[in-house]
């Protein structure tokens, strides 16, 4: 299935909820009057497109209907579609970070799909032959680190991780040094999203921010908030809260495949002026798509897309990832299979004296350990000054923290 088809099928629930309603408005009215606009308004709002976006879309529609002297409601449909497309157009600079050395933070509350999105983004970038490093800065649970490690294997991205409970800012520090040393194109940082302990999280994010400002040099900074489309209007309020204090440069809207509330994509963009840059339409590596208003709206309204770039990209993803995937997926699948089976295969591997395969069948921690070794080395050089600095930071933070404004951590601070 090509990307466009995947998008179309991902949006099927949203399409059923919005487009069916719109079509019935267009077919049940014989003239364009206030009742017609009222009905259309209700349908759009019910489809989670939001009051503001709906108002703007209808205003636009009224103007065009007048301008073009349209009388038949059926002739409005294309105007409506065009108006939604225009509303969601991203402009030319949305993906600048992909084409320069950059550090990308993924923030957002728990369970929205941050870790999965880091993995999928890595897949997209690896398909463009970029060198990608991931930072496992959600250190709350070992499972979070394991989850990201899986994604690193799946996509062939490097991962910098430490053990559960270690300092996330130190992980980011290591990851930045490693990115510099390895000449990485993009550093993707996974973060924790637990809000139940705001004070700790605030302190953590504050430290991360400091480390990035100090160490990132001229890396381009992108802060993406990850929002779960299934939460509908809640996603909007999460964004509002974060945005008050954060420089959010874009949105990743996940789980569009599981919801009828995909209209929220239109609402978010219209209400807060922050662009939805990616949408998640499933759990596979190729299920994160760059947002393109033309393609999105075509998929939503079940129109054909002439955009065969989609299929090229799909081909690219396959071409670049298949090699890496084959080897790592093999190891991964094996890991999750019954232990005996793994052992049996290990034996076979030994017999075949295929040391490469045997390695893949290992517990998969090599990469992580190597990363840690390397960064341990790097760290020892800087250890003294870093320790000094962090001691300094800790004492300074207490009295200075409340004064600092901006930064994505101030949100939590406010809530203290
Ligand atoms: N169907 C679907 N599931 C998703 C998508 N993105 C993430 N998920 C799932 O959502 C769950 C939480 O994702 P995770 O990345 O662990 O969230 P985090 O806590 O923000 O890091 C996992 O089961 C993911 O597989 C998506 O676009 N579509
Ligand atoms: Mg996570």
Q: Is 280 in the pocket of ligand 1 (CB under 6 A)?
A: yes
Instruction: Kindly report the length of the chain.
Output: 416
pLDDT exceeds 60 at position 341: no
Q: Which of 39-43, 104-108, 306-310, 380-384 has the lowest mean pLDDT?
A: 380-384
The lowest-confidence range among 161-165, 252-256, 288-292, 324-328 is: 324-328
Query: What percentage of the chain has pLDDT greater than the value 90?
Result: 39
For 192-251, give the DSSP string. Answer: ----TTHHHHHHHHHHHHHHHHHH-TT-EEEEEEEEEGGGTHHHHHHHHHHHHH----EE
Determine the distance separating the centroid of ligand 1 and the alpha carbon of 142, expressed in angstroms. Answer: 17
Distance 176 CA to ligand 2 centre (A): 20
Q: What is the pLDDT of residues 171-221, one digit of tens each?
A: 999 999 999 999 999 999 999 887 555 666 667 777 888 899 899 999 999
Q: What distance in angstroms lies between residue 224's CA and the mean position of ligand 1's atoms?
A: 15
Q: How confident is the model at residue 2 (pLDDT cuts 50, 70, 90)?
A: confident
Residue 278: which of 53, 121, 98 has the closest Cα?
121
Average pLDDT over all residues of the chain: 77
Residue nearest atom 6 of ligand 1, based on CA coordinates? 113
Ligand with minimal distance to 109 CA:
1
Which residue's alpha carbon is nearest to atom 8 within ligand 1?
113
SS3 405: coil
pLDDT average, residue stretch 386-398: 39
CA–CA gap between residue 245 and residue 222 (Å, rounded): 15
Tell which atom from ligand 1 comes closest to the C-alpha of 138: 21
In tens, the pLDDT along 95-120 reads 989 989 999 999 998 999 999 999 99
Strands 288-290 and 276-280: antiparallel
Alpha carbon of 110 to ligand 1 centroid (Å): 10
Distance from the alpha carbon of residue 340 to the mean position of ligand 2, in angstroms: 30
What pLDDT score was predicted for residue 243? 77
pLDDT in tens, 48-100: 888 989 999 999 999 999 999 999 998 888 999 998 888 888 877 889 899 89
Long-range Cβ contact pairs of 305-310 (< 8 A, separation 24 or more): 305/4, 307/4, 310/2, 310/3, 310/4
Nearest Cα residue to 70 out of 32, 103, 96? 32
CA dist 244 → 113, 355, 405 (Å): 22, 54, 11
Of ligand 1's atoms, which has the minimum distance to the CA of residue 106?
20
Mutate to test the pocket of ligand 1, among 122, 147, 254 (most ligand atoms within 8 A of CB): 254
Q: Comparing C-alpha atoms, which of 149, 151, 150, 138 is closest to residue 111?
A: 138
Radius of gyration of the chain (CA): 24
43, 74 in Cβ contact below 8 A?
no
- Per-residue pLDDT band for 376 (boundaries 50, 70, 90) equals very low
Please indicate, yes or no, whether the overall pTM of this predicted structure exceeds 0.85: no
Q: Which of 105, 116, 291 to mutate to test the pocket of ligand 1 (most atoms within 8 A of CB)?
A: 116
């Amino acid at each position: 299935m090509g990307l466009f088809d995947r998008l179309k099928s991902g949006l099927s629930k949203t399409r059923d909820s919005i487009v069916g309603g719109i079509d019935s408005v267009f077919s049940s009215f014989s003239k364009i009057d206030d009742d017609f606009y009222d009905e259309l308004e209700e349908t759009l709002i019910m489809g989670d497109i939001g009051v503001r976006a709906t108002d703007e879309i209808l205003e636009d529609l009224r103007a065009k209907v007048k301008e073009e002297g349209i009388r038949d409601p059926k002739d409005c449909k294309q105007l409506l579609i065009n108006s939604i497309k225009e509303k969601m157009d991203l402009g030319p600079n949305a993906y600048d970070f992909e084409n320069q050395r950059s550090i990308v933070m993924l923030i957002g509350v728990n369970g929205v799909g941050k870790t999965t999105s880091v993995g999928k983004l890595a897949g997209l970038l690896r398909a463009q032959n970029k060198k990608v490093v991931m930072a496992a800065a959600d250190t709350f649970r070992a499972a979070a680190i394991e989850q990201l490690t899986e994604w690193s294997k799946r996509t062939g991205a490097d991962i910098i991780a430490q053990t559960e409970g270690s300092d996330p800012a130190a992980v980011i520090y290591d990851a930045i040094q490693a990115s510099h040393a390895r000449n990485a194109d993009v550093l993707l940082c996974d973060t924790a999203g637990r809000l139940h302990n705001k004070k700790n999280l605030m302190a953590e994010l504050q430290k991360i921010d400091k480390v990035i400002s100090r160490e990132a040099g001229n890396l381009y900074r992108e802060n993406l908030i990850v929002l779960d489309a299934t939460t509908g209007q809640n996603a909007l309020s999460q964004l509002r809260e974060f945005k008050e204090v954060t420089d959010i440069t874009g949105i990743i809207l996940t789980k569009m495949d599981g919801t009828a509330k995909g209209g929220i994509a239109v609402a978010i963009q219209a209400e807060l002026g922050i662009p939805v840059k990616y949408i998640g339409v499933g759990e596979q590596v190729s299920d994160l798509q760059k947002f393109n208003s033309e393609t999105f709206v075509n998929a939503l309204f079940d129109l054909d897309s002439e955009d065969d770039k989609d299929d090229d990209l799909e081909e690219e993803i396959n071409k670049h990832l298949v090699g890496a995937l084959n080897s790592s997926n093999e190891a991964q699948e094996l890991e999750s299979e019954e232990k005996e089976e793994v052992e049996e295969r290990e034996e076979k591997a030994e017999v075949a004296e295929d040391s490469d395969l045997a390695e893949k069948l290992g517990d998969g921690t090599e990469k992580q350990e190597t990363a840690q070794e390397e960064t341990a080395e790097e760290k020892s050089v800087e250890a003294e000054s870093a320790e000094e600095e962090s001691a300094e930071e800790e004492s300074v933070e207490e009295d200075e923290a409340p004064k600092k404004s901006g930064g994505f951590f101030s949100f939590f601070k406010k809530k203290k």
